[in-house]
Amino acid sequence: MLIKWGPTARTVVLITIGAVLFAIGINAFIVPHKLVGGGISGIALMLFYLTGVPIGTLNLVLNIPILYAAYRWLGRWHLMITLIGTAISSFTINEFAFLQDYSLTQEPLVGAILGGITCGLGLGVVYRSGGNTGGLDPIALIIRKYYGLQMGSIVFAINMVILVISAAIVGVEPAAITLVSLYISAIITNKVIVGFSQRKAIFIISYKPYKICDLIIHHIGRGATILNGEGAYTHQHKQVILVVVGLMQVAKLKAAVQEEDPSAFLLITDAAEVIGRGFTFGSLPEPQQAVQQALHEGVCTECGHEHNTVKTDYEKSQDNHMAVNAEQESTSAIAAEKPINAEAATVAEKK
C-alpha cells in the first residue's frame, strides 16, 4: 500500500493562496489600526507591538511546540502539512509587511470587518485543502478529530481566552473591535470549509411514499431513502422519506409534495455537510442502472443487505406468474383425475 508522506502539489498551492490572503488581511487591515488577532498569530502581534520583531518571525518561533503536538496526536503527514503551512504563512506575513504603511481604511471597525473577511477566506481555503497554517490550527484539528466540532468555532472559542489577555496589553477598545474581526473570520472560515451551497435535509411522512419518491427522482432530480416508522399515538405503520436537496430546490419539492399529498408532513432542517453521489462526485444513476449495479454487487435493492440471490421486481413478478400458472395446472390436473378415479372405482365395484 502506498503511504502518503507529504502533501500533494495541489494542497501546497491552496495553502499558499490561503496564506497570502491571510497575510494581506493581517498587514493591510489589522496592524494599521493596532488591532490584535487570535491564536499564535495574535500573540505574535502583541509581541510585535512591544518589541518590533517581524510578525512572521515571531509566528514561526512560537509554533515550534505546535509542531510537536501535530506529530504526537495527528501523525507524520499532519506534521509535514503543519510545517509547510507554518513556514509559508510566516514567510508571506513578512513579505506583505509593506502593506502596513498604506492606510487602506480609516476606521478601525471597517478594518476589523475587512480583516476578518480576508483572513477568514484565507484560513477557509487552507482548511478546505486539508492543510493548516500552524498556530491553533493543529489544536483545532485535534479537538475536531476527537469531538467532531467545526474548525472555525473551535478557533473562535480559544481566541476568546487570548483576547481577554490581549486587552491588558493593547487596551479594551482595540480588543473589543478585534472581537468583531474574529467573529466574522470564524463565520467565513466555516462557510468556505462547508461550502456556500447550503443543503437541506427533508423528512416526509406520507401515505403515498412511492408516488412522492417518483416525484423526487424524476422531477427534482435527487435520490431518496424510505425509512420504516411507527406513529407514537396510533401505533400505525408509516413510511418516512429522507431526501437531501439544494437550497433552490426546497420550494419546488414542497410544491410537488403538497400537490400530490396535501396531508403530508414535512420536516426541513439544515445539513451541515453532504458527502456522496450527486453532491460531491458524479451524478445519480438511473433507477434501472442502480438496480443492476446492486445486483452485480450482491446487495438487495429493498433492504440494502447482501444476499446470495437478489431479484428485480420484474423477476419477482415472473416468479409469481409462474407460481400461479403452476398452481392452476395442478388444479386442472386434479380435476381431470377425479372422473378417471371415479370410473375406476365403479369398475372395481362391479367386479
Give the separation between CA 317 and CA 298, rounded to whole angstroms: 20
pLDDT tens-place string over residues 270-312: 887 777 766 655 555 555 554 455 444 444 444 444 444 444 4
pLDDT-above-90 percentage for the chain:
23
Tell me, what's the pLDDT at 288? 52
pLDDT tens-place string over residues 204-235: 998 889 999 998 988 888 889 899 988 888 88
Tell me, what's the pLDDT at 245? 87
Q: Mean pLDDT, to the nearest integer, of 145-166?
A: 74
Tell me, what's the pLDDT at 322? 55
Going by the DSSP 8-state scheme, the letter that residue 28 receives in this structure is: I
Across the chain, what does the average pLDDT equal? 77
As given in the structure block, the three cell numbers for residue 239 are 413510511
Give the separation between CA 306 and CA 294, rounded to whole angstroms: 9
Give the separation between CA 16 and CA 10, rounded to whole angstroms: 10
**Position with higher pLDDT, 248 vs 327:** 248
Tell me, what's the pLDDT at 283? 55
pLDDT tens-place string over residues 25-56: 999 999 999 898 878 888 899 899 889 999 99
